[in-house]
Structure formats: C-alpha cells, structure tokens
Amino acid sequence: MLTLQKIPRSIFALLFILLASCSVQEGNVDSGNRLGILHYGNGSEPQGLDPHVVTGVPENHLVRALFEGLAVKNPYTLEPEPGVAERWEFSDDKRIVNFFINPRARWSNGDPVQASDYVWSWRRALHPEMGNPYSYMLFPVKNAEAFAKGQISDFGKVGVKALDERTLEVTLNEPTPYFIQLMDHYSTFAVHPPTIMKFGASTDRYTKWTREENIVGNGPFVLTEWKLNRRIVVEKSSTYWDRNKVSLNGVVFYPTENSVTEERMFRVGQLHYTASVPLDKIPIYREMENTPYVQAPYLGTYYYLLNINKKPLDDIRVRKALSLSIDRDKLASTVLQGTAVPAYSITPPNTLGYDPPKLFGYDPEKAKQLMTEAGFPNGKNWPGIEIIYNTSESHRKIAVAIQQMWASTLNIQVTLSNQEWKVYLDSVDQMDFDIARRGWIGDYVDPNNFLDLFISSGGNNSTGYADGIYDDLVLRKATKASSRELRYQIFHRAETMLMQAMPIIPIYTYTSKHLINPSVKGLPSNLMDSLNLKYVWLDNLKKEER
Amino acid sequence: MTRYIIVRILQALPVILAVITATFFLVRMAPGGPFDSEKAVMPEVKAALEARYKLDQPILAQYFSYLSDLREGDFGPSFKYPGRSVNELIAAGMPITAELGLYALIFAVLLGGVTGVIASLRPNSWVDHIPMTLAMIGICVPSFLLGPSLVLLFGVHLDWFPVSGWGDIPGDKVLPSITLGAAYAAYVSRLSRAGMLEVLSQDYIRTARAKGLAEWRVITRHALRGGLLPLVAFMGPAFAGLLSGSFVVETIFQVPGLGRFYVQAAFNRDYTMILGTTIFLSTLIVIFNLLSDVLAAWMNPRIRSDLLDHD
C-alpha cells in the first residue's frame, strides 16, 4: 500500500529518472561548430521568402541566403562586388549600365541564370498588382515609376532589356551613384520564372512557390526546412557559382522575437548569434572579459517629428528651443546606457564619406532666450503639447527624460501618450499629433535615403515641412552633380536648410547590438548591419576558449 | 441525454455567430490597417493590396463574403504571411498549443489533485497548510514571473532543462508545461480540497467507515468520485483557458503554438487571422464547456437519472 511516508521517496525516484533522461547533451553551438552549422537568432518569424513581397530585417537575412543580386555588398567595406553579374559597365553619361551575367551563375535546379530572368522579375517587382512595398528601389530605372503607378502598361518602355542571354542593359532616368548598391536589395533580385508560373500567375502574392519543396533560388544556400515559428534551415547550395568560398554547411534561423529568451538561449549555448541584446544586460556583458557583446554604428536615426502646422510648433523659435534644451550626451550615457551616439542631423555621420552639418548643441541659455522671444518666458502662456510614441519601454524612458529636460530648462508642460503600434502609425499618417517619435533605418548607404524623406510630397515627411528650394536640391541638383564631392556639397546645403527649419528633432544615431559567440568568424560589424553568409565560418574552438 | 446535448449545441450556434460578427466589426473599427507600416507605402501599392484582399469593397459586402467562405471552412489568406492560409497557420500552431495545454492540465490535475486530497485528509494540520499556502502563491504568481524564474534556476544555473523550444531537445517541454499548469494546479488543489472536505462529512462516508472499511478504500472507492466532481466542471473551461491563454508561456519559451500567432495577428491587424483564431478558439471553448457539463451530468447520479428520464 502506498503510504504518505512512501510518497516523497517515489516522487524523488520519478524525478531522478526524468532528470536522467533529459541530462544535458551537446548544445547547438558545440554541434554547430563540429558540423559547420551556424545557429542564428533572426528576430522574428519571416512574413515569407518572396523577394518581391516581403519587407523587414529577418526576411532580408533569409532572402539573401537563398538568392543573390547582380552585385553584393562586401561586408567589410560595403562596396559592391560581383554577385550574379561578374562585372558591369557604365556609359560615359552614366545613364546606361550593362550587367554581364556570370556564365557559372545557376538556379538551384541547375538552370542557368539569364538576363531575361531579370527583365521578367523586374516587371513582376514593379507591377502594380504585385503590391510590392519596395518597388521604389527600381525607380531610378527609366519609366519604372510610371509603370509601378499604372501610368503606363507597356513594360517594353521601362529601361531594362536583355541584349542577349548574358547581358542586361539598364537605362536610368539620371546618373544614380548608388544604383549598384540597390542591386543587393532583395526587391531587385531575380526569381525563377518557371517556378513562379508553376504555382500561379506571375503577380500572384498568394502562392506556394516559396515552400521548401518548391522554392528555386540562386543564392549560396538552399531551403531545406521551414517550421513555422520554430526554425528555418538552409544548407549550402551545390549549384551556387561561388560555392568554394562558402564555408558553412548550413544555417538554422530561429524566430527569436523575445530578446530576453534569446539572450538565455545564447547563454546556454543554443545560439551563435543574437538579433538583439536586452538593454539591462548590456552593462553586465560589457564588464566581461572576452565579451561576446558587439556594438557598432548603424545607419539609422532616432528623431522626433514636429507637426509644424500646429501651434506653438509653427514657431521656428519654439522648435529650436526644444531641440537646444535636450542634453543628448546625457541621454545617450544614462537612459540609453552608452548604446547610442547623439545626433544633430538626420543623416548619420560618415555615410559613405558624407558628414552632415552640426549646427547646434546643448544650449539651455539660448533655448530660454528663444522661448522668451516666442512669448513663453519661463513657460508662461505655454499651451501644453503632447509626445506620442508606440508602446515600448525604451521609447517611454526617452520621452520621460526629454519631458524632464524641457520642464527643468524651459519650465513647460509636456504630456506623454503611448499608443499601440498601428494606432500610432495611423496618428502619424493623419498628422494627428504635436510631437511623434520616429526612427529611420537606411535602405542603402547614401545621404539621399535620409534627405528625400523631407521633400514636400514625401510619404514619410509627416511634419508639414515643404520647401521648393530643398526639393530642388535633393531631387534635381544632387542627381545632376558631376562628382561625388559636388553631390555631397549639395546634400550638405539641403541638410543645413532642413536643420535650420527644424521640422524634426534628431536625438540619436542607432547602433547595432549583438551577442556573437567567439567561434563565429567572418562576420564583421558594418554600418548596414549587413550579413553576407558567404564570408562566415566557424572556428572549432575548445569549450574553455569559448 | 441526446436531447440535452442537441439543445446545448443549438444554443451554442448563435453564440458563435455573435462572436464572428462582433469580432469582424470590432477589428475593422480599430485604427490602422494591415498594410500600414513605418515606411510609407505608395498609395498605388496600398490600393492594389486592398483590392487583392477585397478591402476596397463596402464593409457589409466583405462581411457576407467572409461568412460565405466560412461556410466552407475557409478562413481566408493571412495578410501578414502572404502565401499562407489562416487554416494552415491554425493547423500548424494548434496541435502544439493543444499538447502544451494537455501537459499543463495533466500537471495541474496530478499535482493539484494529490495535494488537495492529502490536505483534505488532515485539515488544519501542516499537511493542509503548506500545500494550500503554496497553492495561494501559485494562483498569485503570474506566468511571466514564474517562467523566467524556472528558466533561470533549472535552465541556466542547474542546466537540467533546455531554456526554450518545443520538441527539439529532450526535456524542452517540461518547463513550459509546468509554467502554464502552475496556476491551474493551485486552483485544482483548492477545488479538490474543498470538494473532498464536503464529501468526507457526508453520511455515506460515515457509514462506509462504520462498516469497517480501510481508510484508503473509503477515500478511493467512495469519497474521490464525489469530491472531485467540482474538478470535472472546472476542467472544460480550464482546458479552453489553457489553449487561449498560452501566449505568454509560448513567448517566454519560444513555443511555436497558436498563442503567438493570435496575439501577433491583433498587433498586425491581420484581419483574417484575428477572425480565424477567435472563431476557432471560441468554438473550442463552447465545445469544452459542453463536454464538461455533459461529463459532470453523467458523473452526478441525480442529474444523470433526470436526463435519462427525459430521453
């Protein structure tokens, strides 16, 4: 008979069996180093793998493992280097570029990659029915924008032609210095036409061609397993033209949307690499010897949008006073724990050699003086304004700090309002705010990607700022500049105008933050936080060295 | 009995239709849409996407079109995951959530049932006070605190169990199941203690004891059946609650269940996914409540004979 006294012993016996059965086995990192498999925290479950449908960082990593662009970014220099195209040539007026397809470039089913695949794919990427959010990446191509907006329906008028199987001729509207960089953006990638057509119409978003049993790509890896919300496994492609350079035998991507869990997975050796690091863990990792924490400048700016159509922000003196009374150094070192660089302009510093103007700093006295001139001496007559931000602890902390800085320097009342993500997006879109937090991550390394946000008709402007001279500088004068130096001077002028008008308050430049196991090599930090798996290899270090 | 079940099913249908209608119109009223993003989407692109998913039609037309698809069991395509249907996403997540829910329930019933019964045998002694205090703590501690604590202790420091995953590494199902089941174990413990205490004071138990039956036979043969009746009534809604409330645990442990899709769908305004999961889960809740009522009726001799008489 089971008596009360016997129960604890039997429970312990059961527990012992249970624990013995799940005693710790070889972790992912150990087995990965042995087998050449990288275990990669990828942030979240991707929306999909169709290069002409998806947007987002996790999708970018996956799509660029499975597909390759005409040119790819070198992860060390970010300069373009040959991808599917073995070389390219510009015409003298820089309006025509010919891409010469590598004869060894193959789809994963063995078909050769041809110039006509690009013509077919770009028609797909630009077609209005496709609803590709990144179709604008191809807008430097002649008539591409008109085709994407349904103004012309004849794709033959768009500036892309297959001269022969291996030569792709692209005609540009204007000389576009960053055009080759765009060839590494997934929205400009070719897809395999027969595979797409096998599962539906060319512009159908809703087909099964990206499933592991169907997908055909041309990248260094092929998809072998896709378990929703669990993992995506890719292995080295046997048809990739540069396969000898690929060291990894495979990569397992994990949808690690919870950064705290991700950090724990890293700690117990389940991951080689994390997509992010929880802010409160950073000081602990920083103090470690041989720390796996890696932080680097990132091509993105965190800023506040000011609605300059509303009082009192329609007064430039008020906008300047608000900006001058933010102590960005203090914010970066305290609230942001040294993970951000103070920003005084929209374009991040050293964007491929471009350095933005710095017109102001922290100047509380000048801020007070401007507020007095604007009719709000020591906060008197201040009508009150509101900062909106999407619900997030870090946005809240920043807003609280800025609220306090404004209260102590200018003696003004500012209320904070956190909104659920889509509500916040709707408020910004409708310009239903006084001040709204915003972040912008560059799609390519060029000041144009930041400065064209604030052209009068810009969909991301959301401030009410409109200046014909600014538009002319960014849209026309810069594109016609004969040299990079001249072009940067024009951008500098435009950005100076922008920061003098102050429709935004730049706060900080982002940094990328990851935990990377020391056995991972060939994964350098760069401004785009760009991953090129072709370069990555695993050093089979002894456990104690890790 | 059959008539009772049929009547209960007929009562459930309007409830489900009301859930569909309310959810359909409520999600449309929420600000923002499925295709809004931080980087502004070209108006032409947005219009094309809305046309593709019939969002350009009048809302009533959309509603009836949705109901018509639903009759064939088609929840439609997901907006957030192009190329995946809502049916497919539910089919991928549901078995995992159900498995997690089942293990959590087994854990809850075993731990809660045993401690509850033991506590009821020695009321107001340490055998009673200790489990009941722990049960009260169990009810109060939220899973977002218990989960990470268990992970830190058993996953990171002691290295006994994996810190995340589901079915990938041996033992990775243990901590999520315990975390999800803990609060329910506490409820079960208190419910079974209360049920047993009530039954143990009944005349027929006294009679059984008077006949000279061994105490453990009195408990197992006579008291348990009546004493655990409240538990049966609790289990239906509890399992439904475990299925629909597993989001936090799934997020903490990276479990690829339905809960993560459900909550993400609401944030993404993935209309079809919100509707699909809500309809699916509410139907399950109705079914489990029904099953639980039928089982409780069957276990209770008085109600059972009433129902059998009607048949």
Residue A38 is assigned to a structural domain of this protein: yes
Residue A210 is assigned to a structural domain of this protein: no
A24·B159 Cβ contact <8 A: yes
- Answer yes or no: do A146 and A6 share one domain: no
* Among candidates B39, B93, B163 on the partner chain, residue whose Cβ is nearest the Cβ of A264: B163
Could you tell me the two tokens for A228?
A: 């929703």
User: pTM, whole model, 2 decimals?
Assistant: 0.87
Q: Which of A479, A448, A446, A440 is nearest to A352 (CA)?
A: A446
Query: Which secondary-structure segment (H or E) carries B2?
Result: helix B2-29
- Answer yes or no: do A335 and A260 share one domain: no
Chain A positions in Cβ-Cβ contact with residue B77 (cut-off 8 Å): 206
> pLDDT confidence of B132, banded at 50, 70, 90?
confident
* Among candidates A19, A261, A422 on the partner chain, residue whose Cβ is nearest the Cβ of B254: A261
Q: Do A260 and A48 meet the contact criterion of CB atoms below 8 Å apart? A: no
Distance (Å, rounded) from C-alpha A189 to C-alpha A183? 7
Distance (Å, rounded) from C-alpha B249 to C-alpha B148? 10
Could you tell me the two tokens for A30?
A: 């150990």
Instruction: For residue A520, give the DSSP letter.
Output: E
Domains of chain B listed by start with CATH number: 86-310 (1.10.3720.10)
Chain B positions in Cβ-Cβ contact with residue A265 (cut-off 8 Å): 163-164, 254
Q: Do A28 and A273 meet the contact criterion of CB atoms below 8 Å apart? A: no
- Buried b / exposed e across A54-76, counting CB within 10 Å, b at 16+? bbeebbbbbbbbbbbbbbbbbbe
Q: What is the distance in angstroms between the Cα of A92 and the nearest Cα belonging to chain B? A: 33
Across chain B, mean pLDDT equals 84
Residue A104 is assigned to a structural domain of this protein: yes
Q: Do A200 and A209 meet the contact criterion of CB atoms below 8 Å apart? A: yes
Q: Do A538 and A32 meet the contact criterion of CB atoms below 8 Å apart? A: yes
A133·B45 Cβ contact <8 A: yes
CA distances from A544 to A32, A273, A285, A290, A514 (A): 16, 18, 18, 12, 21
Q: How far is CA A171 from the centre of its chain?
A: 27
- Answer yes or no: do A261 and A361 share one domain: no
- Percent of chain B surpassing pLDDT 90: 13
Non-local CB neighbours of A133 within 8 Å, separated by 6+ positions: A55, B37, B39, B41, B42, B45
Chain A positions in Cβ-Cβ contact with residue B93 (cut-off 8 Å): 228-229
3-state secondary structure (DSSP) of residue A38: strand
**Which of A160, A180, A205 is the C-terminal boundary of a domain?**
A205
Q: Which of A241, A24, A226, A210 is nearest to A113 (CA)?
A: A241
- Answer yes or no: do A425 and A456 share one domain: yes
One digit per residue, the tens of pLDDT, for chain A of length 546 reads 344 444 445 444 444 444 444 444 678 999 999 999 999 999 988 989 999 998 888 999 999 999 999 999 988 888 899 999 999 999 998 899 999 999 999 999 999 999 999 999 999 999 988 888 889 899 999 999 999 998 999 999 999 999 999 999 999 998 888 899 999 999 999 999 999 999 999 988 888 899 999 999 999 999 999 998 889 999 999 999 999 999 999 999 999 988 888 999 999 899 999 999 998 899 999 999 889 999 999 999 999 999 999 989 999 999 999 999 999 999 999 999 899 999 999 999 988 889 999 999 999 999 999 999 999 999 899 999 999 999 888 899 999 999 999 999 999 999 999 998 889 988 998 899 999 999 999 888 899 999 999 999 888 888 999 999 999 999 889 888 888 899 999 999 999 999 999 999 999 999 999 999 999 999 999 888 988 999 999 987 655 554
**CB neighbours (10 Å) of residue A446?**
24
* Among candidates B44, B148, B169 on the partner chain, residue whose Cβ is nearest the Cβ of A128: B44
B93·A460 Cβ contact <8 A: no
Cis peptide upstream of residue A312 (ω within 30 degrees of 0): yes
pLDDT for B220: 78
Q: Give the count of domains, chain A.
A: 3
Which residue shows structure tokens 């990206």?
A: A210
Distance (Å, rounded) from C-alpha A286 to C-alpha B114? 48
* Among candidates A21, A129, A460 on the partner chain, residue whose Cβ is nearest the Cβ of B170: A21
Nearest residue on chain A to B159, alpha-carbon basis: A24
- Answer yes or no: do A43 and A171 share one domain: no
- Answer yes or no: do A55 and A193 share one domain: no
- Answer yes or no: do A146 and A227 share one domain: no
Residue B171 pLDDT > 90: no
pLDDT for A341: 93
CA distances from B211 to A3, A41, A81, B203, B223 (A): 22, 66, 92, 12, 15
pLDDT for A3: 44
- Answer yes or no: do A448 and A492 share one domain: yes
Chain B positions in Cβ-Cβ contact with residue A18 (cut-off 8 Å): 174
A210·B83 Cβ contact <8 A: yes
Identify the bridge partners of residue A160 per DSSP, sorted by sequence position.
A170
Residue A279 is assigned to a structural domain of this protein: no
- Answer yes or no: do A360 and A496 share one domain: yes
Distance (Å, rounded) from C-alpha B229 to C-alpha A300? 61
Could you tell me the two tokens for A89?
A: 């040539």
Residue A15 is assigned to a structural domain of this protein: yes
**CB neighbours (10 Å) of residue B46?**
18
ipTM: 0.82
Instruction: For residue A139, give the DSSP letter.
Output: T
Non-local CB neighbours of B258 within 8 Å, separated by 6+ positions: B90, B93, B94, B96, B97, B243, B246, B277, B281
Which CATH number goes with the domain that contains A496? 3.10.105.10
Could you tell me the two tokens for A497?
A: 């105008």
Nearest residue on chain B to A264, alpha-carbon basis: B163
Chain B positions in Cβ-Cβ contact with residue A264 (cut-off 8 Å): 151-152, 155-156, 163-164
Instruction: For residue B301, give the DSSP letter.
Output: H
Q: Which of B12, B96, B90 is nearest to B272 (CA)?
A: B90
Q: Which amino acid is at A157?
A: K
- Answer yes or no: do A332 and A476 share one domain: yes
Residue A433 is assigned to a structural domain of this protein: yes
Q: Which domain holds residue A191?
A: 68-205
- Answer yes or no: do A507 and A521 share one domain: no
Compute φ and ψ for A514, nearest 5 degrees.
Answer: -140, 160
B32·A459 Cβ contact <8 A: no
Q: What is the distance in angstroms between the Cα of B44 and the nearest Cα belonging to chain A? A: 6
Identify the bridge partners of residue A71 per DSSP, sorted by sequence position.
A82
Q: Which of B218, B215, B217 is nearest to B204 (CA)?
A: B218
Identify the bridge partners of residue A515 per DSSP, sorted by sequence position.
A293
Q: Do A118 and A160 meet the contact criterion of CB atoms below 8 Å apart? A: yes
| Number of inter-chain CB pairs under 8 A, A vs B | 156
A485, burial (CB in 10 Å: exposed 0-12, middle 13-18, buried 19+): exposed
Q: How far is CA A541 from the centre of its chain?
A: 31
From A519-523, B27-31, B219-223, the region with the lowest mean pLDDT = B219-223
pLDDT for B169: 79
Q: Which amino acid is at A142?
A: K
A268·B156 Cβ contact <8 A: yes
Q: Do A403 and A414 meet the contact criterion of CB atoms below 8 Å apart? A: yes
3-state secondary structure (DSSP) of residue A76: coil
* Among candidates A206, A228, A260 on the partner chain, residue whose Cβ is nearest the Cβ of B77: A206
pLDDT for A299: 93
**Which candidate in B163, B218, B277 is best for mutational testing of the A interface (most A CBs within 10 A)?**
B163
pLDDT for A416: 95
Residue A223 is assigned to a structural domain of this protein: yes
**CB neighbours (10 Å) of residue B273?**
29
Output the DSSP codes for A439-482.
EEE-SSSSTHHHHGGGSTT-TTT-S----HHHHIIIIIIHHH-S
Residue A280 is assigned to a structural domain of this protein: no
Chain B positions in Cβ-Cβ contact with residue A148 (cut-off 8 Å): 42, 44-45
- Answer yes or no: do A60 and A85 share one domain: no
Non-local CB neighbours of A12 within 8 Å, separated by 6+ positions: none
